[in-house]
A and B are shown apart, each in its own frame.
Chain A
Amino acid sequence: MGAGARTLAHRSPIVSIRKVALAMAGALLLAALLFPICWMLAASLMPESRLFESRPLLPTAVTFEHYRALFDERDFLVPIRNSLLVSGLTTLVAVPVAALCAYALARLRMRGKGLVLACVLAISMFPQISIVPPLYLILRELRLLNTYPGLVLPYLTFSMPLGVWLLTGFFRQLPKDLEEAAMLDGATRMRALRDVVLPLAAPGIASTAILTFLYCWNEFLFALSFTLGPDRYTVPVAITLFRGRYQVPWGQVLAATVVATIPVALLVLACQRRIVAGLTVGATKG
């Protein structure tokens, strides 16, 4: 007891210094991450005239003018709706299909599995700009230019490989015993996938869904190339096209960025609990 107390007393300054250092490092990192967001938020609330006068960390005069202009003059709800539809649809199609592909690649014994995975990876490595012209021609032939499927289909070309790769890794980590137990309990492979594998893979599926959604939400090149007018512009395209011939409405751009961040933040917050819950599920081994 005495020896233990001495050791503790001896060690405690070092422990507390480490704790303080860690906390400071964490705070610094957090500040670095939050700084641009604070700047964006503060600047979006300042009158256009003041934007370049001072450093807008704290707004000196608050105005909602930019936000009003965004929705009244520019009808910013349309690009938001477009982005939500396209990103949401892509995620809804990509994640289930990718989950099935990934499960097959992770579990079933078949020839050329490595080759398939390598091809999937190679496809996602293509520079995006190089497939814009062929995709454009295909979409034109299919009369899908300036439509939602005309964006969802190209988005699947990069979101599917991403999903397949992420989920293959995730499924591989799950113990095989559990599916085998389910199959001996009388479940078919698909039923075992539904009842046992998918609930356990929920954190991986949630992360994949978030990443897919984010990729689509931020995607610019395809959206710019395959939409023809404001009725189908997505958020990044719409914001880019805010710029006029002689001026850039920075206030509105910043306000639009704030608005565009909200759905993504909500999605991550919604899924976060699921991810954390999934990670704390009990281990299988005794």
Chain B
Amino acid sequence: MAAIALNELAKTFPNGHVAIRHLDLRIDDGEFLVLVGPSGCGKSTLLRLIAGLETPTAGRIVIGDVDVTAHSPQRRDLAMVFQSYALYPHMSVRDNLGYGLKVRRTDRAVAAQLVADVAAALDIQALLDRRPAQLSGGQRQRVALGRAIVRQPKAFLLDEPLSNLDPALRAQARAELRRLHRTLGTTVVYVTHDQEEAMTLGGRVAVMRDGAIEQVAPPLDVYARPVNMFVAKFIGAPSMNFVPATLVGIEAPSGALAGIRPHDVTLGAAGQMHATVELVEPRGHDSLLHLRLDSPGAESVLAVIAGAAPPAGAHVFLTLPADRRHLFDGRTGARIA
């Protein structure tokens, strides 16, 4: 187990693409850190840099007390779960789990015991003699996870490990991952583009854009106080509404935008703004309303309403509660209040 520190880390690919721009990040020992961002934001490259599969153009990577920047992947003692799982197709599940131990010359009896323990913990004992091709997606994911755990590495790197699973299985695997992290207590760096996964899994969430980290904080802090419009939009589903601050009657510099989450919009017989319901999407426990403001500028706003929703075409008043409002600079996107 170890902390991971990235100092001034940068990566530019030979074709000139800048993947990571001078990035600083400290991941504490035993922490579950989620790197989240849209595709192409550099989160997978960052993970591969930590793993040693890419060499940085500048900066340092320190794992524990050791500067591993120049170390090859095999000397870093990390384990990675790939999006494709990358199970060795010509080996049985048992050999897949035990390969890392074999390479590290672990005593055979000890290795067999470790493999058996991990198989028991992940409930894959019955699969040990099968080949990866004979497993379902969920089973492969467990084997990939088992292969990472069995070696007891300094940290786990997980690259969208749940993205190939169907939604029901994904929720289950997510819960299991959390439980696993609680029992093992090993540092985890987890990459995903799914903000929901980031919210539910992470001890801290690092939101990335264009090779830089926009905000690092516990998920609820990121949700409650996003530092800029990008983070505000990316975290939380459906994503945050933005309307000109003047429309809501806030005194703010010109061009300022008020942000409000769809769940925080309240409808009523009277309110700050008048709007027309354009579309209603019933979601069971609540409904997602697409509203068009009647005020000049004709902004559209999303609202999530529990209980009975007004029909499409209805005229409603809406209020954006002051304590739930976020204020951003319309030009830079930075948070004002």
Contact = CB atoms under 8 A, between A and B. Distances in A.
B187 interface: no
Contact of B53 (A183, A195, A282): A183
Nearest to A189: B72
B133 A109 contact: no
B53 A180 contact: yes
B88 A178 contact: yes
B42 to A, nearest CB: 18
B133 A286 contact: no
B132 A284 contact: yes
B78 interface: yes
A286 B140 contact: yes
Given A186-B74, A200-B90, A284 B103 contact: no
Nearest to B51: A184
A141 interface: no
Nearest to B83: A177
Contacts, number: 89
A277 to B, nearest CB: 10
Contacts of B136: 286
Given A187-B74, A286-B164, A182 B88 contact: yes
B56 to A, nearest CB: 14
Contacts of B104: 186
Contacts of B230: none
Contacts of B88: 178, 181-182, 195-196
Nearest to A282: B133
Nearest to B165: A286
Interface string B66-94: 00000011100111101011111110000
A273 interface: no
A191 interface: yes
A184 B89 contact: no
Interface of A: 109, 175, 177-178, 180-188, 191, 195-196, 199-200, 281-286
15 contacts: A175-B86, A180-B51, A180-B53, A182-B88, A182-B99, A184-B51, A184-B52, A184-B79, A186-B103, A282-B132, A282-B133, A284-B85, A285-B84, A286-B84, A286-B136
Given A178-B86, A180-B53, A285-B85, 11 more contacts: A178-B88, A181-B86, A181-B87, A181-B88, A184-B74, A184-B79, A185-B147, A187-B99, A282-B89, A282-B132, A284-B85
